[in-house]
Amino acid sequence: MIMVTKLPKTDVVTVGVGWTGGIIAAEASKAGLKVVGLERGGNRGTANFAMKHDELRYAIRGELMQDLSRETLTFRNNSDQRALPMRQYGSFMLGNGVGGAGTHWNGMTDRYNPYDFEIRSKTIERYGESKIAEGLLIQDWGITYDEIEPYYTKFEKMAGISADETPLRGERSEPFPNPALKHGPELDLFKETTKKMGLDPFTIPAANNSQPYENPDGQHLAGCQMNGFCERFGCEYGAKASPNVTVIPAALKTGNFDLRPNSEVIEVLHEGGKATGVIYVDTRTGEKFEQPAEIVAITSYTFNNNRLLLNSKLGTPYNPKTGKGTIGKNYCYQIIVGTDGFFDDRKFNTAIGSGGLGATLDNFNADNFDHTDYDFIHGGTIIMNQSGKRPIENNQVPPGTPSWGKEFKEQSLKYYNRMVNVHTYGATLPHVDNYLDLDPTYKDVHGNPLLRMTFDFSETDRKRGKFLNDQTKKIMQEMGATHVSENESVEHYDITKYQATHNTGGVIMGADPETSAVNNYLQMWEADNVFVVGGSAYPHQSGYNATQTLGALAYRASEGIIKFSKDGGKLA
């Protein structure tokens, strides 16, 4: 029998220490609560990133990513197929280690649109209920934009977000803490062209600080050096806001935060609708520990939040046949398509850039345009990045060029600095056929079932994707590209091709315990001392970069945790 060592009780334990775990650790420990942060990966910081300019090691081989030999998930397009393990990375990259994916994100920081939070009500109000296609499970989030706004502001001040204005997005209570990053002529071209087309372009809010910045917690961020290598890499200057240089040191400074790397939580212990703590394994020694806690905050990535609840038998699993239950429901992704433009008469400094740097517009996002004549709702943001192009991953050639050999080489070299891309992050809406549950066959390194993803784009996702790709193509043609790529396929979701690490849902928030797993404080309806925080809480996936909303929700959850520690009970 394996011994489990029982440790002294703490006020709060977080499962994972990335953005959401880090924010909760900082806020709760500042309020005087004792917090234990359990992170299955190792510790790391700015000093570990001196060799970061290594595309092969970090971007291709995924140095900072979760080791799939220990744990992955399985995937199928629909429930008639056999789900098979994602044996290597493709569509998304799973973070690992202190800071989580917040260590190696690009830094694009979008607020979701006011429409998102009341998507069902607002759609019915404008178009009538028949506008919502059969099978779609869209629902209001149980929180309005005005209610989440203060938490967005809090995240922006903590991270030092650099931006000027954001037309067609929700109203802001305060200006951005730093001015927008400077950019190159390719983004000027995008902005000038789209302005002429009657659209409203602006510079994307970025967590890559445009100047040195001290945040309200007294943490210092450096100014961005514009040398690229952000997404999939840590920042060697501490200029990109990450949990490692903001909320984690702020939490440690209080003396109330006990950060434990190499600690992999495998079970939430619970009894009679209350969690009593968690079981974790020291990944170095294999020793098992029980960490009792008053409050359990499940703060890992979307997939592990779902898997831990299912493996712990906490909450009611979603049943796609009956529509009952909530855990695993409303899994969503994004439809990411775009257009490459090849310029014979322009040459850009494509190596210069920053992860969060780009120009964007919201004219085709949310309900910012009239959908009366379209057979889909929602949309997506249109983006042109200047993130610093890297040479292994970028060998684009004009349509009709072979993919290897003499002509390929010639054209891929010629256009390396003459190719730019405009793409979309398109919303995908929850569908009855898309969900997460436990795989019946495949196991992780501890012998626990892997999570199984059943997902494909639904019919309206495809229509939205095609519409958005038509817009990116039109913009690229107006920008004067000599050659323009063909539209991308939006037929079936493909797990092998990188799109974005924007997986959401499964433990969704809402106002009704019948249709949601957590309330608007991210508190579980079925266990009121458990808070499940992350992209897992999004009832649908919008057309934006996904990080800031989970950061805002983590601030909201922190408030709930502090309140619950005093008064207990249901917060909403």
Binding site for another protein (CB under 8 A): 50-51, 53-56, 60-62, 65, 67-69, 71-72, 75-77, 81-82, 84-88, 90, 182-185, 225-227, 347-349, 351-352, 391-392, 395, 403-406, 409-410, 413, 416-417, 441-443, 492-496
CB nearer to another protein: give 174 or 494. Answer: 494
Half-sphere exposure of 186 (CA within 13 A, CB side): 30
Q: Residue type for 352, please?
A: I
Q: How far is the CB of 209 from another protein (least distance, A)?
A: 14
Q: How far is the CB of 284 from another protein (least distance, A)?
A: 18
How large is the C-alpha radius of gyration of the chain? 23
Q: How far is the CB of 96 from another protein (least distance, A)?
A: 11
Cα separation, 544 vs 88, whole angstroms: 26
Closest CA to 537 of 15, 102, 18, 20: 20
Q: How far is the CB of 149 from another protein (least distance, A)?
A: 32
CB nearer to another protein: give 158 or 357. Answer: 357
Cα separation, 145 vs 197, whole angstroms: 29
Angle, helices 547-567/145-159, rounded to nearest 10 degrees: 100
Measured between its terminal Cα atoms, the distance across the chain in Å is: 42
Q: How far is the CB of 66 from another protein (least distance, A)?
A: 9
Q: Are 16 and 235 in contact (CB under 8 A)?
A: no
CB nearer to another protein: give 16 or 62. Answer: 62
CB nearer to another protein: give 36 or 495. Answer: 495
Q: Residue type for 415, please?
A: Y
Angle, helices 547-567/19-30, rounded to nearest 10 degrees: 30
Q: Does the active-site annotation cover 502? A: yes
Report phi then psi at 162, rounded to 5.
Answer: -105, 120
Q: Residue type for 330, please?
A: N
Report phi then psi at 442, rounded to 5.
Answer: -90, 145
Q: How far is the CB of 54 from another protein (least distance, A)?
A: 6
Q: Can you name the residues that pair with 210 across neighbouring β-strands?
A: none
Q: Are 105 and 356 in contact (CB under 8 A)?
A: no
Q: Can you name the residues that pair with 453 across neighbouring β-strands?
A: 75, 436
CB nearer to another protein: give 181 or 476. Answer: 181
Q: How far is the CB of 237 from another protein (least distance, A)?
A: 9
Question: If you search the block for the tokens 């990450």, which residue do you land on?
Answer: 242
The two counts, helices (H) then strands (E), for the chain are 10, 24
User: What number of residues does the chain have?
Assistant: 572
Collect all residues with Cβ–Cβ distance below 8 Å to 499 and sequence separation of at least 6.
91, 92, 333, 334, 336
Cα separation, 300 vs 266, whole angstroms: 12
Q: How far is the CB of 406 from another protein (least distance, A)?
A: 5
Report phi then psi at 470, rounded to 5.
Answer: -60, -35
Residue spans of alpha helices (H) in 145-301: 145-159, 185-196, 247-253
Cα separation, 75 vs 342, whole angstroms: 35
Of the listed 183, 378, 431, 502, which one is catalytic?
A: 502
State the DSSP H helix or E strand holding residue 529, giving kind and residue range, or none if neither: strand 527-532
Collect all residues with Cβ–Cβ distance below 8 Å to 168 and sequence separation of at least 6.
200, 361, 362, 363, 365, 368
Q: How far is the CB of 25 from another protein (least distance, A)?
A: 28
Cα separation, 519 vs 534, whole angstroms: 13
Q: How far is the CB of 17 from another protein (least distance, A)?
A: 22
Q: Are 100 and 18 in contact (CB under 8 A)?
A: yes
Collect all residues with Cβ–Cβ distance below 8 Å to 421 and sequence separation of at least 6.
338, 339, 340, 341, 384, 385, 396
Show which residues are catalytic: 502
